[in-house]
């Protein structure tokens, strides 16, 4: 296995899928010669040319909607929206035209597209370039929501997303593009809807995803020093949600901390808590707890941005309070 | 609404006479334009230096090369008028009266900045000076400017709005929807497209359906004009004509100013998508050089005075740097939840009335 960075894993998945299936193509702002704002399409334009690696105008609604249309007509577009914050502009097309499509038309259409996007805080780029809006998409019927935390999952999940016949919103956190990890060169997929237990433990379950999943591993290390054994569940897909894996862990630990970088109010993990409540209430030894971003537009100033977002020590602290 | 309209007619008569289009410039005004352009350039050079040294966090889109547009356009309007800015907003902020020290403090995320350090580069604006804000969303402020134009039409005070945006923004739906609305409602807005040939790496040749963005005015029932965005007086004249038209009830204008972004889109941009020859060509038409040469040629300034002004600007920048980096504090984390809502604030159980 080779050590590759997160951005390379994304790029390699795109490349493999374009080589495997001529119906796959890439479009978005600055995905061509620039190689994507965070480098995830680097060298693809040189290899595949501007027909299959298409630079678009700054037209998010048309990017998402054109992906829907091309997908309905037999292609497998992978559209990139440069920042998750701009998904708000693409939202109508993706959610209303894409996500509802199959159902509205009596199950006769498919929309096999991926909307890749990048988000999250950590670079001091303020309220319109730092958000984590997955809750908005989890809410929408007909779309899947995927959020890898490391290079291996990124490559396997992106391949699975491209091959899936549903519209998938694929989220990459801006702070992990440089992260390195072991990634096989041969073909593999990480199936959608399967969570990953990344750290085993008995005292508390930390349910988490994306960049925060890496912080949870750090937090588990901190907790270990205090004699607390944490189990970390990296959700990988927020929809479909792997309820079984979560319940198996809750049965063991009886305590649940849910964490996310989205705003607290109506966060995507609130849904996870409700599933646990519905199907695993008897396993719980204490009320569940959550740690999310503050309910504020993300501030630019480093002191405020830091105060706004969960960190590894704060995740550990919250878990500690839960174990009591 | 009838009353407002009558009032608008009255005040229109009053201000139409003194629209700057018809007015010759005093020497001090010209020197002031040069001073402002030099300030913007020096500010952006400082920003680039601080970014490179990693003193400045975040992303800053710098305005170097486009100074003549903000300065020329803002010179036309009154303090009671409005502008809307973009992600490349330092120049607009300064041309609308922003001070270097509080601007730099904002970029550094300090509490003394114009937005208390919450906005940073992409949201820089002195909203008390008729600047409705800078936005990180490309095209995000074109509808906002349109709504401000509607308010101006309602209130009958004969105000106008200058709406700045890039060539790239003109491909977003917000542009097309807004211009249609302003055309249909005859709103007093001047839509100023700063065409610097690229939206990030994508050239207008690839991204746009038309060669000149000004031609898009036709679709929305408004005049589309082109000005040389490297010439401050030419921008000023064109904006003055459009403003006069708007104040007289003649509706909106689309004005395309052709210019060039000197620096990469961001610090890490290697500028692979454009040639060094193209860059040299535009540098040879530098707006500050051109204007100082003109002032010297017309004997409004001597070479020595131009050089002295450069020195003065360097001192102003040094003072701003000292203010932002040494004399200003970061906001206190306890202020995190301030100002999200009017009259309500986060408490232990959720939002509470304050
Ligand atoms: C809605 C939206 N899409 C994409 C971006 C990313 N982005 C920031 S600046 C920029 C280029 C903007 O081009 P233009 O409007 O020509 O302005 P310029 O940067 O050239 O001044 C892009 C694509 C954004 N900030 N907002
Ligand atoms: Mg541009």
Establish if A188 belongs to a structural domain. no
User: What was the pLDDT predicted at B23?
Assistant: 75
Is residue A60 in contact with ligand 1, taking CB distance under 6 Å?
yes
Burial A79-101 (b: 16+ CB within 10 A, else e): bbbbbbbbbbbbbebbbebbbbb
Are A20 and A141 contained in the same domain? yes
Tell me if A99 is assigned to some domain.
Answer: yes
Whether residue A260 lies inside any domain: the answer is yes
Tell me the pTM: 0.96
Q: How far is A307 from chain B (nearest CA, A)?
A: 6
For residue A123, being part of any structural domain is answered with yes
Q: What pLDDT does B4 receive?
A: 43
Closest-approach residue (CA) in chain B for A301: B109
Residues A66 and A131 placed together within one structural domain of the fold = yes
To which H or E segment does residue B307 belong?
Answer: helix B303-321
Question: Does the pLDDT value for residue A107 go beyond 70?
Answer: yes
Token code pair at residue A59: 């037209």
Are A270 and A278 within 8 A, CB to CB? no
Establish whether residue A286 lines the binding site of ligand 1, counting it when its CB lies within 6 angstroms of any ligand atom: no
Query: Which secondary-structure segment (H or E) carries B318?
Result: helix B303-321
Task: Please identify, in words, the CATH class of the domain defined by B6-353.
Answer: alpha beta
Q: What is the rounded average pLDDT of the residues B140-151?
A: 98
- Spatial contact of B295 and B305, defined as CB atoms under 8 Å apart: no
Quote the mean pLDDT of chain A.
98
Q: Is residue A248 part of a domain?
A: yes
* B14 or B80: which leads in pLDDT: B80
The predicted-structure confidence for A140-159, as pLDDT tens digits, reads as follows 999 999 999 999 999 999 99
The pLDDT value recorded for residue A1 is: 86
In angstroms, what CA-CA distances link A58 with A20, A234, B140, B268?
Answer: 29, 34, 12, 20
Average confidence (pLDDT) over A119-135: 97
Do A90 and A239 fall within a single domain? no
What's the pLDDT band for A324 if we cut at 50, 70, 90?
confident
B 80-139 residues with CB below 8 A of A? Answer: 109-111, 116-123, 135-139
Domain end position, chosen among A160, A183, A206: A183
Residues A155 and A25 in one domain: yes
Least CB-CB distance to B136: which of A37, A123, A126? A126
Based on the domain organization, do A130 and A167 belong to the same domain? yes
Asked whether residue B15 carries a pLDDT value surpassing 60, the answer given is: no
3-state secondary structure of B22: helix
Element (H, E) at B303: helix B303-321
Chain mean pLDDT for chain B: 94
pLDDT bin (cut points 50, 70, 90) of residue B21 is low
**Of the candidates A163, A182, A161, A164, the residue with the CA atom closest to the CA atom of residue A172:** A161
Q: Which 289-308 residues of chain A touch chain B by CB within 8 A? A: 294-297, 299-304, 306-308
Categorize the per-residue pLDDT at B18 as very low, low, confident or very high, splitting at 50, 70 and 90: very low
Say yes or no for a CB contact (<8 Å) between A34 and B58.
no
Q: Which B residues, 11 through 50, put their C-beta within 8 Å of a C-beta on chain A?
A: none
SS3 string, chain A, reads: CEEEEHHHHHHHHHHHHHHHCCCEEEEECCCCCCCCCCCCCCCHHHHHHHHHEEECCCCHHHHHHHHHHHHHCCCEEEEEECCHHHHHHHHHHHHHHHHCHHHHCCCCCCCCCEEEEEECCCCCCCCCCCCCCHHHHHCCCCCEEECCCCHHHHHHHHHHHHHCCCCEEEEEEHHHCCCEEEECCCCCCCCCCCCEEEECCCCEEEEECCHHHHHHHHHHHHHHHCCCCEEEEECCEEECCCHHHHHHHHHHHCCEEEEEEEECCCCHHHHHHHHHHHHHHHHCCCCCEEEEECCCCCCCCHHHHHHHCCCHHHHHHHHHHHHC
Identify whether A279 is a catalytic site residue. no
- The whole-angstrom separation of Cα B12 and Cα B331 is 44
The neighbouring-strand residues paired with B353 are B344
- Stretch A232-257: mean pLDDT, rounded? 98
Over the stretch A173-220, which tens digit does the pLDDT of each residue have? 999 999 999 999 999 999 999 999 999 999 999 999 999 999 999 999
Helices (H), B59-167: 67-74, 90-95, 100-107, 142-155
List the structure tokens of B210. 């038309």
**What is the C-alpha separation between A147 and B57, in angstroms, rounded?**
26
CATH number at residue A256: 3.40.50.920
| Rg, chain A, Cα only | 19
Hey, are the CB atoms on A296 and B337 less than 8 Å from each other? yes
Q: Give yes or no for a contact between B256 and B214, defined as CB atoms under 8 angstroms apart.
A: yes
Q: How far apart are CA A149 and CA A3, in angstroms?
A: 15
Q: What is the DSSP letter of B73?
A: H
Tell me the sheet residues that pair with B267: none
Neighbours of A264 (CB within 10 A): 17
* Cα distances (angstroms) measured from residue A25 to each of A28, A129, B122, B319: 10, 26, 32, 52
Alpha-carbon separation of residue B283 from B22, B53, B276 (angstroms): 31, 25, 10
Å between A235 CA and nearest CA of chain B: 27
Asked whether residue A190 is domain-assigned, the answer is no
Taking CB atoms and an 8 Å limit, are A299 and B207 in contact across chains?
no
Q: Do A147 and A295 belong to one domain?
A: no
Residue in A129, A139, A173, A199 annotated catalytic: A129
A191 occurs within a structural domain = no
List the single residue in A with minimal CA-CA distance to B207.
A57
Cβ contacts from A onto B, under 8 A: 138
CA–CA separation, B163 and B188 (whole Å): 11
d(CA A268, CA A275): 12
Cα–Cα distance for residue pair B201/B212, rounded to 1 Å:
18
pLDDT tens-digit map of B233-273: 999 999 999 999 999 999 999 999 999 999 999 888 999 99
A58 with B337: Cβ contact below 8 A: no
pLDDT band at B7; cut points 50, 70, 90: very low
Tokens, residue A310: 């969960």
ipTM for this prediction: 0.96
Of B184, B197, B47, B57, nearest to B117 (Cα)?
B57
Q: How far is CA B305 from the centre of its chain?
A: 27
CATH number of the domain residue A153 falls in = 3.40.50.970
Mean pLDDT confidence for A255-283: 98
DSSP B96: T
Average pLDDT over residues A235-253: 98
Q: Do A126 and B118 touch (CB under 8 A)?
A: yes
Answer with the one of A159, A183, A207 that is the final residue of a domain: A183
Domain region containing A215: 196-323
Total domains in chain A come to: 2
**CA–CA gap between residue B177 and residue B340 (Å, rounded):** 29
Phi first, then psi, for residue A10 (nearest 5°) are: -65, -50
**B331 Cβ under 8 Å from any chain A Cβ:** yes
Q: Are A305 and A130 in contact (CB under 8 A)?
A: yes
């Amino acid at each position: 296995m080779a050590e590759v960075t997160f951005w390379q894993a994304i790029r390699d998945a795109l490349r493999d899928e374009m080589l495997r299936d001529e119906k796959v193509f890439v479009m978005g702002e600055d995905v061509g010669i620039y190689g994507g704002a965070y480098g995830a399409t680097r060298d693809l334009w040189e290899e595949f040319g501007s027909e299959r690696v298409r630079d678009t105008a700054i037209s998010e609604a048309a990017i998402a909607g054109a992906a829907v249309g091309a997908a309905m007509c037999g292609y497998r577009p992978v559209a990139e929206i440069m920042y998750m914050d701009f998904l708000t502009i693409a939202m109508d097309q993706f959610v209303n035209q894409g996500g509802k499509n199959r159902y509205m038309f009596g199950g006769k259409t498919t929309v096999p597209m991926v909307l890749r996007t990048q988000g999250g805080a950590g670079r001091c780029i303020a309220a319109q370039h730092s958000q984590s809006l997955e809750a908005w998409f989890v809410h929408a019927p007909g779309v899947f929501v995927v959020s890898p935390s490391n290079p291996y999952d990124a490559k396997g999940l992106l391949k699975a997303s491209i091959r899936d016949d549903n519209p998938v919103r694929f989220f990459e956190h801006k702070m992990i593009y440089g992260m390195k990890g072991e990634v096989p060169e041969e073909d593999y997929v990480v199936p959608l809807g399967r969570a990953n237990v990344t750290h085993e433990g008995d005292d508390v379950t930390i349910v988490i995803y994306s960049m925060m999943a890496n912080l949870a591993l750090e937090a588990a290390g901190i907790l270990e020093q205090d004699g607390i054994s944490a189990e970390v569940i990296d959700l990988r897909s927020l929809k479909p949600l792997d309820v079984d894996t979560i319940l198996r862990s809750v049965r063991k630990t009886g305590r649940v901390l849910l964490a996310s970088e989205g705003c607290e109010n109506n966060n995507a993990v609130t849904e996870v808590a409700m599933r646990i409540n519905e199907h695993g209430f008897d396993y719980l030894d204490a009320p569940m707890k959550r740690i999310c971003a503050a309910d504020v537009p993300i501030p630019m100033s480093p002191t405020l941005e830091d105060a706004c977002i969960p960190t590894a020590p704060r995740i550990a602290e919250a878990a500690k309070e839960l174990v009591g | 609404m009838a009353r407002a309209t009558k009032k608008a007619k009255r005040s229109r008569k009053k201000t139409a006479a003194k629209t700057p289009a018809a007015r010759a410039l005093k020497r001090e005004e010209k020197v002031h334009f040069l001073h402002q352009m030099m300030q913007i350039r020096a500010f952006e050079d400082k920003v680039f230096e601080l970014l490179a040294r990693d003193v400045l966090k975040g992303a800053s889109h710098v305005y170097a090369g486009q100074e003549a547009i903000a300065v020329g356009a803002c010179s036309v309007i009154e303090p009671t008028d409005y502008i809307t800015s973009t992600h490349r907003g330092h120049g607009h902020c300064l041309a609308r009266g922003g001070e270097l020290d509080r601007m730099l403090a904002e970029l550094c995320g300090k509490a003394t900045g114009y937005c208390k350090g919450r906005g940073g580069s992409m949201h820089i604006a002195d909203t008390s000076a008729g600047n409705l804000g800078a936005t990180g969303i490309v095209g995000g402020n074109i509808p906002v400017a349109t709504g401000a134009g509607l308010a101006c039409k309602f209130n009958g005070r004969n105000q106008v709005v200058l709406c700045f945006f890039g060539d790239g923004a003109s491909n977003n739906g917000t542009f097309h929807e807004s211009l249609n609305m302003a055309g249909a409602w005859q709103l007093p807005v001047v839509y100023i497209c700063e065409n610097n040939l690229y939206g990030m790496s994508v050239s207008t040749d690839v991204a746009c359906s038309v060669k000149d963005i000004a031609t898009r005015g036709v679709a929305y029932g408004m005049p589309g004009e082109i000005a040389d965005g490297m010439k401050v007086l030419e921008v000023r004249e064109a904006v003055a004509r459009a403003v006069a038209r708007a104040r007289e009830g003649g509706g909106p204008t689309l004005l395309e100013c052709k210019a060039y972004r000197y620096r990469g889109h961001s610090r890490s941009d290697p500028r692979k998508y454009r040639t060094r020859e193209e860059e040299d060509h535009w540098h040879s038409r530098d707006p500050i050089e051109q204007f100082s040469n003109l002032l010297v040629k017309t004997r409004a300034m001597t070479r020595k005075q131009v050089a002295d002004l450069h020195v003065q600007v360097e001192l102003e920048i040094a003072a701003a740097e000292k203010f932002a980096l040494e004399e200003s504090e970061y906001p206190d984390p306890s202020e995190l939840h301030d100002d999200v809502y009017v009259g309500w604030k986060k408490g232990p159980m959720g939002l509470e009335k304050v």
